[in-house]
Amino acid sequence: DVKVTQSSRYLVKRTGEKVFLECVQDMDHENMFWYRQDPGLGLRLIYFSYDVKMKEKGDIPEGYSVSREKKERFSLILESASTNQTSMYLCATRTVKETQYFGPGTRLLVL
């Protein structure tokens, strides 16, 4: 079974803090994704990566950056957290057959 793990299930941070969200997958997939999910807005793509050290902006990259130093690990960074970044953050990994597998999510609250 594909396993996608995220570093935290729940996180509370203050405005202006730097926040790191980590995602690790154990299936050697090239493609990894970061989404945020908000009520009424569905899933929105923040960034994705198709190889080590490669990254592409999704639909809402502003305020975020990512890092992919190793194939199995994809990190999402909030350089200076703001209250409008309070959300559920989901990491996903994709097989060559386009099936996306999601991690359990990190619910981030920015005060």
Partner 1 sequence: DAKTTQPPSMDCAEGRAANLPCNHSTISGNEYVYWYRQIHSQGPQYIIHGLKNNETNEMASLIITEDRKSSTLILPHATLRDTAVYYCIVRGDNAGNMLTFGGGTRLMVKP
Contacts with partner 1, residue ranges (CB under 8 A): 4, 31, 33, 35, 42-43, 45, 48, 56, 58-59, 90-92, 94, 98-105, 107
Place of tokens 């899933």: 43
> Nearer to partner 1 by C-beta: 45 or 77?
45
* CB closer to partner 1 out of 55 and 110: 55
Q: What is the DSSP letter of 84?
A: G
Closest approach of Cβ 77 to partner 1, in Å? 19
Distance of CA 1 to the CA centre of its chain: 20
Q: How many CB atoms lie within 10 A of CB 49?
A: 21
